[in-house]
Structure 1
Amino acid sequence: VVPGYQDETGDQHLLHAAAIELGLPVMVKAAAGGGGRGMRVVRSEGELDEALAGAARESTAAFGDGRLFIERFIVGGRHVEAQIFGDSSGRVVFLGERECSIQRRHQKVIEESPSPALDATLRKRLADAAVRAGEAVAYTNAGTVEFLLQPDGQFYFLEMNTRLQVEHPVDLVEWQIRVASGEDLPAQVPPSRGSALEFRIYAEDPATGFLPQPGRIAELTAPAGDDVRFDGGYETGDTVSAFYDPLIGKMIVRGDDREDALRRAAAALGATVVRGLTTNVGLLRAVVTAPDFASAAFDTTWLERSLEAGSLELEPPCEAIVAALAFDLVGGTTHPAETTGRWRPGGYEATLRYTVQGRDITVTHRRTAAGSWTVGLNDRHVELRAIVGGDGELTFALNGRMVAASVSARADHLRIQLAGDLNLHIVDRAGPRYGSGSGGKGARATGNGDIVAPLPGIVVKILVDAGQAVESQQALAVVEAMKMEHALKATREGIVSEVLVAEGERVEEGRLLIRMSENALASDPSIEPA
């Protein structure tokens, strides 16, 4: 097992001392549950006390038990779990393993089987260890034995889930019923065939630290077929609540081998449509086509590290937004923005706004010559010219490069398929279409830096006082929602002018929590950042 320490008394001073003795980094975990709740990675002693306190709060909220334990954090580790099944005769069999290393907030986002990290020798070692664990306790039922795999092939026992996993897409229920009634397992266990992946589709915003995005689903469309299955908990018109886990559904894709499964997965995710709220579908699309994922060069921290480094593209391609604009221009639509635009050097500029994947995108366009426009997309500019369109097909030049797209217009949105791109891009025109600026539920601060509640929840911690100077990205408050804690951070340097809420107070989405003022650091050297 991973070296660690557990104290039944919940004494955080003892936990602190044990963490230092184990050696940082360490993983703080909830003793009473899992699913990423009550878990923290601590890399420095200065983070330790708050991590212990936060993990205890979160564990208490989720499981009614704030007890914790500490394990040494395995750098470069992968999460691999073995499926076993035992019957009343004492026989325990291995039914394959799942690779669960693509995680956020210590929760699985993508699972695949078999694990690309295991060769035949390592797979047998891991399978034998899992079976021995089941035999040691005369286990009867489906169960999952979880391991942490080091880069050198050494693995550690993490825990055993003594049940059929709730996310399990393989139907072992018949075996459970037969074994529970006293029957033995079949003499021959069906062999594994091909490769399969499961993708969890959440109503959350990867760009804001995976904050849940509750709201009404305007449209939910997922492909289905012999090799693609969608297990959904919601349908078009349903509302994702702010009080429960934001999981919308799971997509399971099978292929003849891993390469085939990845190809099918990219096509299935590309055809998935969720409108009305922000989801992680764009992130899943980016992951499944990422070179590191294709080569299986990842660990449990890869997803969050890749997002932080900006190596996963979350935004829709520029071509999709320009295609929407080109379609509107070719269609001869008279936009209200074109009568309320403004004159700029070089011509009259119109401003309008589209929404893609729950995010507002401000678009400006200014005619520079016959059939040519300068287009602004948020903070970048491109040149658009020579639009040719008809029967839903578009061809245009973007910065001198020809782009072809198919566009289908609906009452409140456009469906855009770029040539050579598997992804269907939905560009909404519903709601307040025109104007400047952007926002959305993922925003944590107003334009002047004031901190607002990004979703309904309870303020569990205020980390600053009025008059305190803070740095950009410094945590100012912690809000608990959906039994997970979310740190609200400063978007820039400044001074806390007023704290408007108290710890323990329930707040609604959009509630002003902390009022900020301009930073006085430059003019008053006596003020030290917190």
Structure 2
Amino acid sequence: MTNVDDADTTHLRRLMVPVLVDVHGTAWATAVFDVTLRHRDHVLVAEAPPHGLSMDVEKTVRATAAGLAQGSGAGPLTVHFLADPRTGEVRFQKKEAGLPAESTLAETLTGLDLASLQHHLAHGGSLSGEPPEPRGHAFQICLSARDPEAGFAPRPGLVEVLRLAAGPGLCAEAAVEEGTAPAEADPLLVRLTAGARNRTEALARLQNGLARTTVVLRGGATDKAFLTEILDRPEISHAGAEAGWVDRLVERGEHLSPRGLRGALVAAALAAYDAELDQAKAGFYGAAQRGRPEVSKEVGRTLELRLRGHLYAFRVHRLDPALYRLDVDGT
């Protein structure tokens, strides 16, 4: 492996390896991530192990990362590489202190608790034996308060509804709570990781998890429809996306489909309805405990949501726990 200048990255894939080092210099390289798919410098989809990287090459990358981390002092470290898909060459790029934000990928594949290990090492603990071998496949995306219709500018707002997906192989890490607002400097809302036995199953699990994750912002916007569209494209399912693919997609205006937008809008309306219904139930039970229960005469709920500059008024009725009727008036 050779060093590479940062400017020579046009056709290369970006890899990173989280490494833990103890006071004796023992280094555990946990897994290899592919973080090529990004818009500008914002990672959109992270994947481990990198598709198309042979098992032997992946092991060599981890071994190289562990060797580079030795002598850097105890603690966490991230080693970056660039892979050339044309030649199969993998080149060292840089190393930096700390673990990457995508570290849950390594935990999903290895079962390690990296936070606990960091605490262990910080108090003089050591690493014994070899690290667990990564097994299966994992993807990660970040749902953010960014507006794809406005150049992905931060659009934070008050979090009125936060519904996280749960299930086998899914890990949803919320960066906000209901009643709070994300910071404009870091508009992250939810980091969603999905792991499974193979790439196809992991991607399907991620798509399903994103569909069942809902964040409604008052006065803000999210990039859920954009992420839904990206994950549904054949370039992702067939692993044909290259560096710069997302940027070119955005430049051509192909990054949002009407289907994805409509789906996100309906999901937001239903989630907002459920949240208001929960509040109404809590108010009813509270009043009942005081001996004065009150039932609203209103049937259904009217909600207003904005999309692409248009205001949509939804009239939502829940017919049974899993069946809704929506009437919509767009202006």
**What interval of TM-score do these two structures reach, taking the shorter chain for normalisation?**
0.7 to 0.9
- Quote the residue 2:210 is aligned against: 269
User: What amino acid does structure 2 have at the position aligned with 1:89?
Assistant: H
- The structure that has the greater radius of gyration is 1
Over the residues paired in the alignment, what is the CA RMSD in angstroms?
Answer: 3.1
Instruction: Check whether the contact 2:37–2:44 (CA below 8 A) recurs between aligned residues.
Output: yes
Shift of residue 197 of structure 1? 1.5
Alignment of 1:259-338 (within 5 A): 259-276=200-217, 277-316=220-259
Matched, 1:182 2:124: yes
Question: What is the Cα deviation at residue 159 of structure 1?
Answer: 2.0
Q: Distance in 1 between matches of 2:158 and 2:266?
A: 27
In the other structure, the counterpart of 1:214 is: 156
Letter matched to residue 201 of structure 1:
L
- The DSSP-based 3-state class of the residue aligned with 2:241 is coil
Distance 2:121 2:318 in 1: 60
**Higher RCO structure, 1 or 2 (CA under 8 Å, sep 6+):** 2
User: 2:224·2:264 contact (CA, 8 Å) conserved in 1?
Assistant: no
Which residue does the alignment assign to 1:408? 324
Specify whether residues 167 and 321 from structure 1 end up closer, same or farther in structure 2 by C-alpha distance, changes over 3 A only: closer
SS at match of 1:230: strand
Quote the offset at 1:239 in angstroms: 2.1
Counterpart of 2:90 in structure 1 is: 155
* 8 Å CA contact 1:84, 1:93 repeated in 2: yes
SS at match of 1:197: strand
Q: What are the superposed Cα offsets for residues 53-73 of structure 1, whole Å, 9 maximum, x if unpaired?
A: xxxxxxxxxxxxxxxxxx423
Instruction: Tell whether the 8 Å contact from 1:222 to 1:271 is kept in structure 2 after alignment.
Output: yes
Shift of 1:361: 4.2
Matched, 1:84 2:19: yes
In the other structure, the counterpart of 1:247 is 188
Tell me the secondary structure at the aligned position of residue 218 of structure 1: strand
Query: In proportion to residue count, which structure has more strand?
Result: 1
- Summarize the alignment of residues 33-432 of structure 1 with structure 2, pairs less than 5 Å apart: 71-135=6-70, 137-151=71-85, 152-169=87-104, 170=107, 171-242=113-184, 244-276=185-217, 277-316=220-259, 355=305, 358-361=307-310, 408-409=324-325, 414=326
Q: Which runs of 5+ in 2 are unaligned?
A: 108-112, 268-302
Q: Is the 8 A contact 1:142 1:176 kept in 2?
A: yes
Alignment: residue pair count: 279
TM-fit CA distance, 1:96: 1.1
In structure 2, how many angstroms separate the alpha carbons of the residues matched to 1:256 and 1:250? 21
CA distance in 2, matches of 1:75, 1:215: 35
* Structure 2 Cα separation of the partners of residues 239 and 323 of structure 1: 22
Aligned partner of 1:487 in structure 2 is none
1:232-258 Cα shifts (integer Å, max 9, x gaps): 12122322343x311112111111211
2, 9, 17: which is aligned to 2:4? Answer: 2
The 3 A distance-change label for structure 1 pair 183 and 391 is closer
Rate the CA distance shift 1:213–1:119 in 2: closer, same or farther, 3 A: same
Distance change (3 Å), C-alpha of 1:318 and 1:221: closer
Give, as a single letter, the amino acid of the residue that structure 2 aligns with 1:95: T
- Equivalent position amino acid for 1:229 in 2: C
CA distance in 1, matches of 2:178, 2:65: 41
Alignment CA distance shift 1:215-1:125 (3 Å): same
Compared with structure 1, are the counterparts of its residues 229 and 240 closer, same or farther at alpha carbon in structure 2 (3 Å cutoff)?
same
Name the amino acid aligned to 2:308. Answer: R
Partner SS, residue 238 of structure 1: coil
Which TM-score applies when normalising by structure 2? 0.74
CA offset digits 1:379-412 (Å, max 9, x no partner) = xxxxxxxxxxx9859xxxxxxxxxxxx8625xxx
Q: Is the 8 A contact 1:92 1:139 kept in 2?
A: no
Residues 215 and 241 of structure 1 are in contact (CA less than 8 Å); yes or no, is this contact kept in structure 2? Answer: no
Report deviation, 1:321.
10
Distance 1:317-1:102 versus aligned 2 partners, 3 A rule: closer
Q: Call closer, same or farther: CA 1:318–1:233 in 2, change over 3 Å.
A: closer
Provide the identity percentage.
23
Q: Which residue of 1 aligns with 2:285?
A: none
Letter in 2 for 1:147: F
Give the secondary-structure state (helix, strand or coil) at the position aligned to 1:164: coil
Give yes or no for contact 2:37–2:46 (8 Å, CA) kept in 1: yes
Secondary structure at the residue paired with 2:192?
strand
Q: Which residue of 2 aligns with 1:15?
A: none
Higher helix share: 2
Contact 1:232 1:250 (C-alpha < 8 Å) held by counterparts: yes
CA–CA distance in 2 between the matches of 1:88 and 1:318?
Answer: 51
Task: Summarize the Cα distance change of 1:119–1:139 in structure 2 as closer, same or farther, 3 Å threshold.
Answer: farther
- Aligned residue identity for 2:235: D
User: How far did 1:194 drift?
Assistant: 1.4
* CA 86–205 in structure 1, closer or farther in 2 if over 3 Å, else same: same
